Amino acid sequence: MKTELLIIGSGVAGLTLAVKYAETFPKKNITIVTKGTEDESNTKYAQGGVAVVLDDKTDSFQKHIEDTLISGDGLCNKDIVNMVITEGPKRLKELMVWGAQFDLDPTGNLDLGKEGGHSEFRVVHYKDITGYEIERALLARAHQLKNIQILPHHFAIDLITEHQLNQNAPYTTCFGAYVLNENNREIITIQADSTVLAAGGIGRVYGHTTNPNIATGDGIAMAYRAKARIKDMEFVQFHPTALYTKQEGSAFLISEAVRGFGAYLRTKNGVRFMLNYDDRAELASRDIVSQSIDTELKKTDDSCVYLDCTHLDLDGFKNHFPNIYNTCLENNIDISKDWIPVVPASHYVCGGIEVDRNGKTSITNLFACGECSRTGLHGANRLASNSLLEALVYAHNIYKYHVDFPVSGKKQEIPDWQDGGTNSLKDPVLLEDNLKKLQAVMRDYVGIVRSNQRLLEAIALLDAIYTDMDALYRTSKISTTLCELRNMVNVAHLIIGQSLERKENRGGFYNKDNV
């Protein structure tokens, strides 16, 4: 298959780029591949909203910039922060033109929420399912454009680079990707003038995560194997308040906006402990709140802390957070009288594929945007609700680059995928067993608080998992679950290695040996 623009991922970043490109170039083909259903992405589960300055009487670009820099703990790129935040209002208006709905206040203006780390009310939202609403609107617009082809249940295995075609060539140009059709198990070659990785996050590497099961770091791992520059992977953000249950896997997120609405964090004995850690209490940035909860849990050996909403206006809570309210009820929690058990869970990676302000990676004709990219906006810790903003702005920048500098695909004969594996996976339990081992290593050795010794132990444990995985990959027929494990092992390797390289504690990264 040949296409002008190949986009891997169907979240807000990939869809925004596709819509813009398709509107401007109606005769060019855009192909979106996504391994799940077309609407399954981290975007779909984003509750909080889009942080954007709209009220110039109480707020300003400068205040939002300062909040972002403070949260990023000195490692943000100031020029990028300035660019993303000042572009925000324009990109939000485009979303609204495409049909995205956002909550209004009684005066008919956009209702602005406040989240941890923000000095003003500036988070535009739709109830507590903002990402779901944005995804709905973008997909509806994409389906109206004839030159966008969306291929759900298609898993991108590897990028096609010059090195793959000629072992002596450098990894300088990307020609597309090899993609597994999950319905018929056929591996197809998609040749593209430009390839864009918008493949989302890495949460499943930790097992206990607010991300959906598809968040296996595929984009970052593919770029890493293609020798693109990967940076800041040590900065894994743990959301402080995931609903605590005894079930493994994806955890339901209790939005930061609930604390912005006035909820308190308490120990099981009722102590409002955040006052002991930060003057901003529950509205401190995510790294501080997560580390504080981790400290409290280690002191008491408890499994969770609690979010107290019993003093809040119940009707107001139901109106702002209907999904959270109903999910709590489904778990036998009545927020009018019960505290919500919460625990930190892996949520967002601040690092990823290094890109410039145009979304260009270190490989020619390969771009990246969204959570899989490292732009310089987040630094050591992402400010709440800056992620959807970043995705919108960088999707626009990649689109604008293609308008100003049309990418011409280099003519190249691309061989079909050579599948070295001939055997069907005889024992799927081996995959599941290694996945659980990997997730346990990351939770126990590479969590919120790390140490050099535990990181070194993690490397040894990861090496054993890699050996098993590599043997399976070389001898078995390609499958999504096998490739996902391969990608998660790559991502774990990057997180551990870059954690050992960082010799100072910043933002979401804390190594007790650096104190």
> Which amino acids are annotated catalytic?
286
CA dist., res. 136 & res. 490, Å (int):
32
Cα first-last separation, the chain: 53
Q: What is the DSSP letter of 120?
A: S
DSSP string, 409-469: PPP---PPP-----B--S-HHHHHHHHHHHHHHHHHHSSSSB-HHHHHHHHHHHHHHHHHH
* Residue 293 zone, left/alpha/beta (φ > 0; ψ -120 to 50; rest): alpha
Q: What does the DSSP assignment read for 481-503?
A: HHHHHHHHHHHHHHHHHHHHH--
Cα–Cα distance between 437 and 347 in angstroms, integer?
20
Collapsed DSSP state (helix, strand, coil) of residue 140 = helix
Q: Residue 349 pairs with which residues in a beta bridge?
A: 236
Residues 447, 388: Cα–Cα separation, whole Å: 25
Judge contact between 154 and 182, C-beta under 8 A: yes
Reduced 3-state DSSP string for 52-70: CCCCCCCCCHHHHHHHHHH
Q: Is 187 helix (H, G, I), strand (E, B) or coil?
A: strand
Overall size of the chain counted in residues: 515
Q: Which amino acid does the sequence have at 176? A: G
**Nearest CA-CA partner of 274 in 258, 257, 294:** 294
- Residue 439, classified by CB atoms within 10 Å of its CB into exposed (0-12), middle (13-18) or buried (19+), is buried
Q: Edge to edge, what strands does the sheet with 112-113 contain?
A: 50-51, 123-124, 112-113
CB 399 within 8 A of CB 5: no
H or E element, residue 397? helix 386-404
Kindly give the interhelix angle for 480-501 and 428-445, rounded to the nearest 10 degrees: 20
Distance of CA 58 to the CA centre of its chain: 30
The three-class DSSP label of residue 271 is: coil
> Tokens representing 47?
């509750």
How many CB atoms neighbour CB 42 within 10 A? 29
Token digits for 320? 């702002």
Rounded Cα distance, 407 and 417, in Å = 25
